[in-house]
Structure 1
Amino acid sequence: MIGQAPVAALRQMTEQDIAAVVAVERATFPIDAWTEGMLRGELADQPRTRHYLVAEVDGRIVGYAGLAVAADQADVQTIAVYAEHRRAGIGSQLLTALLAEATRRGATKIFLEVRADNPPAQTMYTTFGFEAYGVRRAYYDDGTDAITMMRELDG
């Protein structure tokens, strides 16, 4: 979060959060939402290679984010925030926390894919220093392209 007071409380995601996170996932990505099983699989690798956070406002989960790290490479797996809580800085808060964790784990580069039809997310990533370097054609279930982005991390 760049120069902004936190608007959500962040904490590590647990198995008890899965139902609430699935609801955020389905609301945010209705066509290609991750399933409960996929989320359980991600959590099974936490903390070894994964780091998942939830964002709470007034005790309610309103967003979440995930990171994968292997050796010196990190990948933003996902960031999702309920529509009514977007543009409040929660996505930035989550991304800031993922970048810090990737750096803490020794990653020197971090990658992500973002929907080509999601300019607000692309803008957020660009603001955080990510640069587009390619396109994955028809990457998403509905045929939408993904823009691949990368950022160098300070060690």
Structure 2
Amino acid sequence: MNNLDLLVRLAQPGDAEDIAALSRELIERGLPWNWRPARVLKAIRNPETNVAVAGVAGELAGFGIMEYLETDAYLALFAVGHANQRKGIGRSLLGWLEASARVAGAQRIRLETRRDNVPARSFYNELAYQEVAIRHNRYSDGVDGILLEKWLRPRPEGEVLE
């Protein structure tokens, strides 16, 4: 893929259904569907949240939903469609979200992935996210969650991991 073909931008209300469908297919498959179009639309309209989409040739290739808390940013959802994986789209999309978090003043980005999602864990580890905690039986099917974080600014003295 030519990087000139990739466009990363803030999502628009018209993107909500495609984002929800991609979430259902890639993230929530076999689980209760929580990120339906109405919830995605609410995130798009929330000033404390960035919903970014990556498009290739006008088609949704991936998305990320980043929520801003007091000093942290939380990557609530992140996915790249099967046909567009391993092409640098995820790196570009996450880089865009990280840059936005820095501008917003976030000290770190936190996220959680399923313990059995080895490709996701490898992706985040390659981009300097560190695994800091296990959340046992986090998902409805009994799978553990892995909490990851990446510091965008120097860690404050005495910061305790959760």
TM-score (ref. length: structure 1):
0.88
If asked which structure has higher relative contact order (CA below 8 Å, sep 6+), I would say 1
Question: Whole-Å Cα distance in 1 between the matches of residues 120 and 58 of structure 2?
Answer: 25
Q: Which runs of 5+ in 1 are unaligned?
A: none
Question: Whole-Å Cα distance in 2 between the matches of residues 5 and 127 of structure 1?
Answer: 20
Q: Which runs of 5+ in 2 are unaligned?
A: 155-162
- SS of the residue 2:112 aligns to: strand
- Is the CA contact (8 Å cut-off) linking 2:5 and 2:57 kept in structure 1? no
Question: Whole-Å Cα distance in 1 between the matches of residues 81 and 146 of structure 2?
Answer: 22
Question: Whole-Å Cα distance in 2 between the matches of residues 7 and 137 of structure 1?
Answer: 41
What amino acid is aligned across from residue 64 of structure 2 in structure 1?
A
- Is the CA contact (8 Å cut-off) linking 1:130 and 1:149 kept in structure 2? yes
TM-score (ref. length: structure 2):
0.85
For 1:11, the equivalent position in structure 2 comes to 9
Q: Which moved more, 1:134-143 or 1:48-57?
A: 134-143
Identity across the alignment (%): 27
- Is the CA contact (8 Å cut-off) linking 1:74 and 1:102 kept in structure 2? yes
Task: State how 1:1-155 maps to structure 2 within 5 Å.
Answer: 5=3, 8-29=6-27, 30-32=29-31, 33=33, 34-45=35-46, 48-154=47-153
TM-aligned CA distance change 1:84 to 1:135, over 3 Å: same
For the pair shown, the structure with the greater C-alpha radius of gyration is 2
Q: How many residues were matched structurally?
A: 150
Over residues 67-116 of structure 1, what are the superposed CA-to-partner deviations in whole Å (9 max), with x where a residue is unaligned?
11122211111111111111111111111111111100001111100111
Root-mean-square deviation (Å): 1.8
- SS of the residue 2:41 aligns to: helix
